[in-house]
Amino acid sequence: MTEKIVLAYSGGLDTSVAIGWIHDATGADVIACAVDVGQGGEDLEVIRQRALDCGAVEAYVADARDEFADEYCMAALQANSLYMDAYPNVSAISRPVITKHLVKAAKKFGATTVAHGCTGKGNDQVRFEVSITSLAPELKCIAPVRDLALTRDKAIEYAERKGLPIETTKHNPFSIDQNVWGRAIETGFLEDIWNEPTKDVFSYTDDPAFPPVADEVVISFERGIPVAIDGRKVSALEAIQELNRRAGAQGIGRIDIVEDRLVGIKSREVYEAPGAMTLITAHQELERVTLEREQARFKRTVSDRWTDLVYDGQWFSPLKKSLDAFIADTQRYVSGDIRMTLHGGRATVTGRRTETGLYDFHLATYDEGDTFDQGSARGFIDIYGLAAKQAAARDVAFGNGEDLDAGEGRA
Protein backbone atom coordinates (compact mmCIF):
# COMPACT_ATOMS: atom_id res chain seq x y z
CA MET A 1 0.00 0.00 0.00
CA THR A 2 1.30 3.47 -0.90
CA GLU A 3 2.48 5.52 2.08
CA LYS A 4 0.44 8.62 2.85
CA ILE A 5 1.81 11.95 4.07
CA VAL A 6 -0.36 14.77 5.44
CA LEU A 7 0.95 18.22 4.46
CA ALA A 8 0.12 21.43 6.32
CA TYR A 9 -1.21 23.39 3.34
CA SER A 10 -1.61 27.16 3.11
CA GLY A 11 -2.33 27.49 -0.60
CA GLY A 12 0.82 29.54 -1.21
CA LEU A 13 3.92 28.88 -3.28
CA ASP A 14 5.96 26.70 -0.94
CA THR A 15 3.25 24.32 0.18
CA SER A 16 1.70 24.05 -3.29
CA VAL A 17 5.04 23.05 -4.76
CA ALA A 18 5.69 20.77 -1.79
CA ILE A 19 2.82 18.47 -2.82
CA GLY A 20 4.57 17.33 -5.99
CA TRP A 21 8.03 17.72 -4.52
CA ILE A 22 7.24 15.32 -1.66
CA HIS A 23 5.66 12.80 -4.02
CA ASP A 24 8.66 12.91 -6.36
CA ALA A 25 11.13 12.50 -3.48
CA THR A 26 9.30 9.83 -1.46
CA GLY A 27 6.76 8.18 -3.75
CA ALA A 28 4.08 8.83 -1.12
CA ASP A 29 0.58 10.12 -1.74
CA VAL A 30 0.12 13.61 -0.32
CA ILE A 31 -2.99 14.72 1.56
CA ALA A 32 -3.28 18.49 1.91
CA CYS A 33 -4.62 19.84 5.21
CA ALA A 34 -5.78 23.46 5.21
CA VAL A 35 -6.96 25.12 8.43
CA ASP A 36 -8.71 28.49 8.50
CA VAL A 37 -7.60 30.44 11.59
CA GLY A 38 -8.91 33.75 10.30
CA GLN A 39 -6.15 34.53 7.83
CA GLY A 40 -8.63 35.98 5.34
CA GLY A 41 -8.22 35.85 1.60
CA GLU A 42 -9.54 32.86 -0.30
CA ASP A 43 -12.21 30.55 1.05
CA LEU A 44 -11.45 26.99 1.98
CA GLU A 45 -13.11 25.47 -1.08
CA VAL A 46 -10.81 27.44 -3.41
CA ILE A 47 -7.79 26.32 -1.40
CA ARG A 48 -9.04 22.74 -1.37
CA GLN A 49 -9.39 22.71 -5.16
CA ARG A 50 -5.94 24.24 -5.62
CA ALA A 51 -4.41 21.49 -3.50
CA LEU A 52 -6.06 18.84 -5.68
CA ASP A 53 -4.95 20.68 -8.84
CA CYS A 54 -1.39 20.67 -7.50
CA GLY A 55 -1.44 16.88 -7.11
CA ALA A 56 -2.88 16.11 -3.66
CA VAL A 57 -4.87 12.85 -3.55
CA GLU A 58 -7.12 14.22 -0.83
CA ALA A 59 -7.75 17.61 0.78
CA TYR A 60 -8.83 18.03 4.42
CA VAL A 61 -10.13 21.51 5.21
CA ALA A 62 -11.29 22.90 8.54
CA ASP A 63 -12.90 26.17 9.58
CA ALA A 64 -11.18 26.60 12.96
CA ARG A 65 -11.77 30.33 13.41
CA ASP A 66 -14.00 30.09 16.47
CA GLU A 67 -11.93 27.26 17.92
CA PHE A 68 -8.78 29.33 17.47
CA ALA A 69 -10.33 32.45 19.01
CA ASP A 70 -11.99 30.69 21.94
CA GLU A 71 -9.25 28.26 22.98
CA TYR A 72 -6.01 29.86 21.83
CA CYS A 73 -6.40 33.63 21.43
CA MET A 74 -8.33 33.91 24.69
CA ALA A 75 -5.72 31.86 26.53
CA ALA A 76 -3.06 34.25 25.22
CA LEU A 77 -5.21 37.22 26.26
CA GLN A 78 -5.74 35.95 29.81
CA ALA A 79 -1.97 35.44 30.05
CA ASN A 80 -1.28 38.93 28.59
CA SER A 81 1.12 37.05 26.34
CA LEU A 82 3.78 39.37 24.89
CA TYR A 83 7.05 37.73 23.90
CA MET A 84 9.97 40.07 24.66
CA ASP A 85 7.29 42.42 26.06
CA ALA A 86 6.21 43.24 22.52
CA TYR A 87 5.00 40.37 20.33
CA PRO A 88 1.57 38.81 21.07
CA ASN A 89 2.63 35.34 19.85
CA VAL A 90 0.62 35.68 16.64
CA SER A 91 2.12 32.68 14.83
CA ALA A 92 3.02 30.65 17.91
CA ILE A 93 -0.57 30.26 19.14
CA SER A 94 -1.87 29.21 15.72
CA ARG A 95 0.52 26.26 15.35
CA PRO A 96 -1.03 24.01 17.99
CA VAL A 97 -4.57 24.32 16.59
CA ILE A 98 -3.27 23.63 13.08
CA THR A 99 -1.33 20.69 14.49
CA LYS A 100 -4.48 19.23 16.07
CA HIS A 101 -6.13 19.15 12.65
CA LEU A 102 -3.00 17.71 11.01
CA VAL A 103 -3.11 14.84 13.48
CA LYS A 104 -6.86 14.40 12.93
CA ALA A 105 -6.27 14.21 9.18
CA ALA A 106 -3.43 11.73 9.62
CA LYS A 107 -5.65 9.44 11.69
CA LYS A 108 -8.57 9.84 9.29
CA PHE A 109 -6.57 8.89 6.19
CA GLY A 110 -4.15 6.46 7.79
CA ALA A 111 -1.04 8.57 7.20
CA THR A 112 2.24 7.74 8.88
CA THR A 113 3.96 11.10 8.37
CA VAL A 114 3.10 14.78 8.70
CA ALA A 115 4.90 17.42 6.63
CA HIS A 116 5.15 21.18 7.05
CA GLY A 117 6.65 24.01 5.02
CA CYS A 118 9.05 25.43 7.60
CA THR A 119 12.73 26.16 7.11
CA GLY A 120 15.53 24.78 9.26
CA LYS A 121 16.28 28.13 10.91
CA GLY A 122 12.87 29.23 12.10
CA ASN A 123 10.72 28.64 15.16
CA ASP A 124 7.78 27.00 13.43
CA GLN A 125 9.56 23.74 12.66
CA VAL A 126 9.89 23.23 16.41
CA ARG A 127 6.32 24.27 17.12
CA PHE A 128 4.86 21.89 14.56
CA GLU A 129 7.01 18.87 15.28
CA VAL A 130 6.98 19.08 19.08
CA SER A 131 3.19 19.56 19.01
CA ILE A 132 2.68 16.69 16.58
CA THR A 133 4.74 14.24 18.62
CA SER A 134 3.07 15.47 21.81
CA LEU A 135 -0.35 14.55 20.38
CA ALA A 136 0.67 11.48 18.34
CA PRO A 137 4.13 10.11 19.26
CA GLU A 138 3.89 7.47 16.54
CA LEU A 139 3.82 9.99 13.68
CA LYS A 140 6.95 10.98 11.76
CA CYS A 141 7.63 14.54 10.59
CA ILE A 142 9.35 15.92 7.50
CA ALA A 143 9.93 19.43 6.19
CA PRO A 144 10.46 19.70 2.40
CA VAL A 145 12.31 23.02 2.63
CA ARG A 146 14.62 21.70 5.32
CA ASP A 147 14.81 17.96 4.53
CA LEU A 148 14.21 17.77 0.76
CA ALA A 149 16.20 20.84 -0.38
CA LEU A 150 13.17 22.80 -1.60
CA THR A 151 14.54 26.34 -1.84
CA ARG A 152 12.42 29.32 -2.88
CA ASP A 153 14.15 29.61 -6.25
CA LYS A 154 13.58 25.92 -6.89
CA ALA A 155 9.95 26.28 -5.82
CA ILE A 156 9.37 29.13 -8.30
CA GLU A 157 11.08 27.21 -11.10
CA TYR A 158 9.12 24.04 -10.29
CA ALA A 159 5.81 25.92 -10.18
CA GLU A 160 6.47 27.58 -13.54
CA ARG A 161 7.61 24.33 -15.14
CA LYS A 162 4.58 22.41 -13.87
CA GLY A 163 2.14 25.26 -14.50
CA LEU A 164 0.85 25.18 -10.95
CA PRO A 165 -2.11 27.50 -10.19
CA ILE A 166 -0.42 29.83 -7.70
CA GLU A 167 0.18 33.58 -7.74
CA THR A 168 3.31 34.06 -5.63
CA THR A 169 6.34 35.09 -7.71
CA LYS A 170 9.80 36.56 -7.36
CA HIS A 171 8.17 39.99 -7.22
CA ASN A 172 6.77 39.25 -3.74
CA PRO A 173 9.84 39.16 -1.49
CA PHE A 174 8.07 38.94 1.87
CA SER A 175 7.28 35.91 3.96
CA ILE A 176 3.87 36.53 5.50
CA ASP A 177 1.92 34.58 8.10
CA GLN A 178 -1.41 35.86 9.30
CA ASN A 179 -4.48 34.90 11.26
CA VAL A 180 -7.21 36.73 13.16
CA TRP A 181 -4.84 37.47 16.08
CA GLY A 182 -2.36 39.31 13.84
CA ARG A 183 0.00 39.34 10.90
CA ALA A 184 3.74 38.60 10.71
CA ILE A 185 6.00 39.92 7.94
CA GLU A 186 9.67 39.10 7.41
CA THR A 187 12.47 38.62 4.82
CA GLY A 188 13.18 40.77 1.78
CA PHE A 189 14.54 44.25 2.42
CA LEU A 190 13.38 43.98 6.05
CA GLU A 191 16.39 41.75 6.73
CA ASP A 192 18.50 44.93 6.74
CA ILE A 193 17.52 46.16 10.18
CA TRP A 194 18.29 49.78 9.24
CA ASN A 195 15.55 49.78 6.59
CA GLU A 196 12.24 51.31 7.58
CA PRO A 197 9.14 49.29 6.64
CA THR A 198 7.41 50.74 3.59
CA LYS A 199 3.65 51.24 3.28
CA ASP A 200 3.19 48.05 1.26
CA VAL A 201 4.35 45.98 4.24
CA PHE A 202 1.13 46.71 6.15
CA SER A 203 -2.34 45.33 5.57
CA TYR A 204 -4.17 45.14 8.90
CA THR A 205 -3.34 48.73 9.92
CA ASP A 206 -3.59 52.17 8.35
CA ASP A 207 -0.89 54.82 8.77
CA PRO A 208 -1.13 56.13 12.36
CA ALA A 209 0.33 59.46 11.23
CA PHE A 210 -2.92 60.26 9.42
CA PRO A 211 -5.65 58.89 11.68
CA PRO A 212 -9.41 59.41 11.39
CA VAL A 213 -11.36 61.01 14.24
CA ALA A 214 -10.77 59.39 17.63
CA ASP A 215 -12.84 56.27 18.30
CA GLU A 216 -14.16 55.59 21.82
CA VAL A 217 -14.88 51.95 22.67
CA VAL A 218 -16.10 50.15 25.79
CA ILE A 219 -14.99 46.53 26.12
CA SER A 220 -16.84 44.35 28.63
CA PHE A 221 -15.12 41.31 30.16
CA GLU A 222 -16.30 38.28 32.10
CA ARG A 223 -13.58 36.26 33.83
CA GLY A 224 -10.96 37.77 31.54
CA ILE A 225 -12.85 37.15 28.28
CA PRO A 226 -14.37 39.95 26.17
CA VAL A 227 -18.13 39.41 25.95
CA ALA A 228 -19.44 42.75 24.69
CA ILE A 229 -18.29 45.82 22.77
CA ASP A 230 -20.17 49.07 23.37
CA GLY A 231 -22.88 47.04 25.09
CA ARG A 232 -23.39 44.64 22.17
CA LYS A 233 -22.73 40.99 22.94
CA VAL A 234 -19.94 39.43 20.88
CA SER A 235 -18.14 36.12 20.61
CA ALA A 236 -14.40 36.00 21.12
CA LEU A 237 -13.90 35.87 17.35
CA GLU A 238 -16.24 38.82 16.78
CA ALA A 239 -14.46 40.87 19.46
CA ILE A 240 -11.08 40.34 17.79
CA GLN A 241 -12.46 41.03 14.31
CA GLU A 242 -14.22 44.26 15.33
CA LEU A 243 -11.16 45.59 17.13
CA ASN A 244 -8.93 44.58 14.23
CA ARG A 245 -11.09 46.84 12.09
CA ARG A 246 -11.49 49.76 14.50
CA ALA A 247 -8.00 49.75 16.03
CA GLY A 248 -6.46 48.95 12.65
CA ALA A 249 -8.06 52.06 11.18
CA GLN A 250 -6.14 54.04 13.82
CA GLY A 251 -2.81 52.37 13.07
CA ILE A 252 -2.74 50.57 16.43
CA GLY A 253 -0.72 47.39 16.84
CA ARG A 254 2.30 47.91 14.59
CA ILE A 255 5.36 46.19 16.04
CA ASP A 256 8.91 46.24 14.64
CA ILE A 257 11.45 44.26 16.68
CA VAL A 258 14.66 42.28 16.45
CA GLU A 259 13.51 39.05 18.00
CA ASP A 260 15.38 36.24 19.74
CA ARG A 261 14.40 33.05 17.95
CA LEU A 262 14.40 29.72 19.71
CA VAL A 263 17.16 28.40 17.42
CA GLY A 264 19.55 31.14 18.55
CA ILE A 265 19.21 33.56 15.65
CA LYS A 266 18.21 37.20 16.01
CA SER A 267 15.58 37.99 13.40
CA ARG A 268 13.95 41.25 12.36
CA GLU A 269 10.17 40.82 12.51
CA VAL A 270 7.36 43.23 11.69
CA TYR A 271 3.92 42.51 13.10
CA GLU A 272 0.43 43.96 12.92
CA ALA A 273 -1.94 43.01 15.74
CA PRO A 274 -4.51 45.80 16.25
CA GLY A 275 -7.19 43.69 17.92
CA ALA A 276 -4.77 41.68 20.03
CA MET A 277 -2.86 44.69 21.34
CA THR A 278 -6.05 46.61 22.13
CA LEU A 279 -7.55 43.66 24.00
CA ILE A 280 -4.35 42.97 25.92
CA THR A 281 -4.11 46.64 26.94
CA ALA A 282 -7.71 46.59 28.18
CA HIS A 283 -7.30 43.25 29.95
CA GLN A 284 -4.11 44.34 31.71
CA GLU A 285 -5.87 47.43 33.02
CA LEU A 286 -8.84 45.45 34.32
CA GLU A 287 -6.43 43.10 36.09
CA ARG A 288 -4.80 46.10 37.79
CA VAL A 289 -8.15 46.86 39.37
CA THR A 290 -9.22 43.30 40.21
CA LEU A 291 -6.10 41.28 41.11
CA GLU A 292 -4.61 41.34 44.60
CA ARG A 293 -1.10 42.84 44.72
CA GLU A 294 0.95 39.70 45.34
CA GLN A 295 -1.23 37.65 43.02
CA ALA A 296 -0.69 40.21 40.25
CA ARG A 297 3.07 40.23 40.82
CA PHE A 298 3.34 36.46 40.66
CA LYS A 299 1.05 36.30 37.62
CA ARG A 300 3.53 38.44 35.68
CA THR A 301 6.18 35.80 36.36
CA VAL A 302 3.81 33.01 35.33
CA SER A 303 2.73 34.89 32.21
CA ASP A 304 6.32 35.42 31.12
CA ARG A 305 7.05 31.71 31.51
CA TRP A 306 3.78 30.78 29.76
CA THR A 307 4.66 33.07 26.88
CA ASP A 308 8.14 31.62 26.49
CA LEU A 309 6.78 28.07 26.52
CA VAL A 310 4.22 28.87 23.84
CA TYR A 311 6.76 30.74 21.71
CA ASP A 312 9.09 27.74 22.02
CA GLY A 313 6.46 25.27 20.79
CA GLN A 314 5.51 23.73 24.15
CA TRP A 315 1.74 24.35 24.01
CA PHE A 316 0.97 20.75 25.00
CA SER A 317 3.69 20.44 27.65
CA PRO A 318 2.89 19.48 31.26
CA LEU A 319 4.27 22.77 32.62
CA LYS A 320 2.17 24.88 30.27
CA LYS A 321 -0.95 22.97 31.32
CA SER A 322 -0.12 23.61 34.98
CA LEU A 323 0.40 27.31 34.31
CA ASP A 324 -2.96 27.33 32.50
CA ALA A 325 -4.61 26.28 35.75
CA PHE A 326 -3.01 29.14 37.70
CA ILE A 327 -3.90 31.73 35.05
CA ALA A 328 -7.50 30.49 34.90
CA ASP A 329 -7.80 30.86 38.68
CA THR A 330 -6.57 34.47 38.53
CA GLN A 331 -9.38 35.34 36.13
CA ARG A 332 -12.18 34.60 38.62
CA TYR A 333 -12.84 38.29 39.33
CA VAL A 334 -11.52 39.86 36.11
CA SER A 335 -14.94 41.13 35.05
CA GLY A 336 -16.07 44.62 34.19
CA ASP A 337 -15.84 47.38 31.59
CA ILE A 338 -12.84 49.21 30.18
CA ARG A 339 -13.35 52.41 28.20
CA MET A 340 -10.64 53.26 25.68
CA THR A 341 -9.87 55.94 23.14
CA LEU A 342 -8.40 54.59 19.90
CA HIS A 343 -6.47 57.24 18.00
CA GLY A 344 -3.21 57.80 16.14
CA GLY A 345 -1.57 54.47 16.89
CA ARG A 346 -2.51 54.39 20.60
CA ALA A 347 -5.17 52.55 22.58
CA THR A 348 -5.54 54.67 25.73
CA VAL A 349 -7.57 53.56 28.73
CA THR A 350 -9.86 56.36 29.97
CA GLY A 351 -12.22 54.54 32.31
CA ARG A 352 -12.67 51.43 34.44
CA ARG A 353 -15.87 49.98 35.94
CA THR A 354 -16.22 46.72 37.84
CA GLU A 355 -18.23 45.19 40.67
CA THR A 356 -15.46 42.72 41.50
CA GLY A 357 -12.56 45.16 41.82
CA LEU A 358 -10.36 45.90 44.81
CA TYR A 359 -10.35 49.66 44.35
CA ASP A 360 -12.16 51.30 47.29
CA PHE A 361 -12.91 55.00 46.81
CA HIS A 362 -13.24 55.61 50.55
CA LEU A 363 -9.80 54.11 51.24
CA ALA A 364 -8.17 55.91 48.30
CA THR A 365 -9.63 59.40 48.63
CA TYR A 366 -7.83 62.27 50.35
CA ASP A 367 -11.07 64.21 50.64
CA GLU A 368 -14.15 63.92 52.81
CA GLY A 369 -15.28 60.35 53.31
CA ASP A 370 -11.77 58.99 53.88
CA THR A 371 -12.02 55.79 55.96
CA PHE A 372 -8.29 54.97 56.06
CA ASP A 373 -6.84 54.99 59.60
CA GLN A 374 -3.70 57.08 59.09
CA GLY A 375 -2.66 56.50 62.69
CA SER A 376 -1.80 52.88 61.87
CA ALA A 377 0.84 53.94 59.33
CA ARG A 378 3.56 54.70 61.93
CA GLY A 379 3.51 51.19 63.39
CA PHE A 380 3.45 49.67 59.91
CA ILE A 381 6.54 51.65 58.88
CA ASP A 382 8.39 50.69 62.06
CA ILE A 383 7.83 46.99 61.44
CA TYR A 384 8.29 47.17 57.67
CA GLY A 385 11.67 48.92 58.02
CA LEU A 386 12.90 46.97 61.04
CA ALA A 387 15.10 44.46 59.18
CA ALA A 388 16.79 47.19 57.12
CA LYS A 389 17.26 49.33 60.26
CA GLN A 390 18.99 46.45 62.08
CA ALA A 391 21.28 45.77 59.14
CA ALA A 392 22.18 49.46 58.88
CA ALA A 393 23.02 49.59 62.57
CA ARG A 394 25.40 46.66 62.16
CA ASP A 395 27.10 48.38 59.20
CA VAL A 396 27.67 51.48 61.31
CA ALA A 397 29.03 49.42 64.20
CA PHE A 398 31.61 47.77 61.95
CA GLY A 399 32.53 50.93 60.01
CA ASN A 400 30.65 50.00 56.83
CA GLY A 401 27.96 52.64 56.93
CA GLU A 402 26.92 54.65 53.88
CA ASP A 403 29.36 57.47 53.00
CA LEU A 404 27.03 60.45 52.76
CA ASP A 405 29.79 62.63 51.29
CA ALA A 406 30.61 60.26 48.43
CA GLY A 407 30.23 61.90 45.05
CA GLU A 408 30.26 65.49 46.31
CA GLY A 409 31.93 67.91 43.94
CA ARG A 410 31.45 65.72 40.91
CA ALA A 411 29.80 67.13 37.82
Are residues 50 and 184 both part of a single domain?
no
Are both 189 and 131 inside the same structural domain?
no
By the 8 A CB rule, do 6 and 148 touch?
A: no
Quote the radius of gyration of the chain (alpha carbons, Å). 26
Catalytic pick among 29, 124, 177, 206: 124
Q: Which of 123, 113, 131 is nearest to 22 (CA)?
A: 113
Whether residue 159 sits in one domain with residue 198: no
Domain membership of residue 365 (yes or no) is no
C-alpha span between 105 and 408 (Å, rounded): 73
Specify the CATH number for the domain of residue 152.
3.40.50.620
Q: Is 14 a catalytic residue?
A: yes
| Domain stops at, among 325, 353, 381 | 353
Spacing of C-alpha 157 from chain mean position: 34
Binding residues for L-aspartate: 119, 123-124
Q: What gap in Å lies between CA 90 and CA 81, rounded to an integer?
A: 10
Partners of 183 in beta bridges: 178, 272
The amino acid present at 35, given as its one-letter code, is V
Q: Are residues 27 and 122 in the same domain?
A: yes
Confidence at residue 162, expressed as pLDDT on a 0 to 100 scale? 83
- Which CATH number does the domain housing residue 199 bear? 3.90.1260.10
Is the residue at 305 inside a domain? yes
259-273 burial code (b ≥16 CB/10 A, e <16): beebeeeebbbbbbb
pLDDT at 245: 98
Asked if residue 360 belongs to a domain, the reply is no
The model's pTM is: 0.93
Domain boundaries, position 310 = 177-353
In a domain, 197, yes or no: yes
Is 260 one of the catalytic residues? no
Per-residue pLDDT of the chain (411 residues; tens, 9 = 90+): 799 999 999 888 888 999 999 999 999 999 999 999 999 877 889 999 999 999 999 999 999 999 999 999 999 999 999 999 999 999 999 999 999 999 999 999 999 999 998 888 889 999 999 999 999 999 999 998 888 888 778 888 888 888 888 765 555 667 889 999 999 998 889 999 999 999 999 999 999 999 999 999 999 999 999 999 999 999 999 999 999 999 999 999 999 999 999 989 999 999 999 999 999 999 999 999 999 999 999 999 999 999 999 999 999 999 999 999 999 999 999 999 999 999 999 999 999 999 999 999 999 989 888 898 888 999 999 999 999 999 999 999 998 878 877 766 555
Binding residues for L-citrulline: 87, 123, 127, 175, 259, 271
Report the C-alpha gap between 15 and 326 in whole angstroms: 38
Number of domains in the chain: 2
Picking from 328, 314, 355, 255, the residue whose alpha carbon sits closest to that of residue 74 is 328
CA 18 to chain centre: 27
Q: Is residue 202, in this structure, part of any structural domain at all? A: yes
Angstrom CA distances, 208 to 182, 219, 369, stand at 17, 22, 44
**pLDDT on residue 170:** 56
- Residue 172: how many CA atoms within 13 Å on its side-chain side? 12
Q: Is 338 part of a structural domain of the chain?
A: yes
Do 102 and 151 fall into the same domain?
yes
Q: Given 48, 95, 183, 254, which residue is catalytic?
A: 95
Determine whether 153 is an active site residue: no
Active site residue 94: no
pLDDT reported for residue 263: 87
39 shares its domain with 159: yes
Q: Return the pLDDT at 305.
A: 98
135 with 11, same domain: the answer is yes
Annotated binding-site residues read: 8-16, 87, 117, 119, 123-124, 127, 175, 259, 271
Are residues 153 and 205 both part of a single domain? no
Q: Is residue 82 part of a domain?
A: yes
Looking at the fold, whether 156 and 182 belong to one and the same domain comes out as no
Domain end residue (candidates: 171, 188, 211)? 171
| Same domain flag for 203 and 349 | yes
Instruction: Extract long-range pairs of 166-171: CB within 8 Å, 24+ residues apart.
Output: 166/11, 166/12, 166/13, 166/16, 166/17, 166/50, 166/54, 168/12, 168/13
Q: Are residues 121 and 197 in the same domain?
A: no
Among 353, 369, 398, give the residue marking a domain's end: 353
CA–CA distance, 165 with 24 (Å, rounded to integer): 19
- Assigned domain for 392 exists: no
Give pLDDT, residue 169.
53
Task: Give every CB contact of residue 396 below 8 A, 6+ residues apart in sequence.
Answer: none
Determine phi and psi for 166, rounding to 5 degrees: -135, 155
Give yes or no: residues 343 and 213 share one domain.
Answer: yes
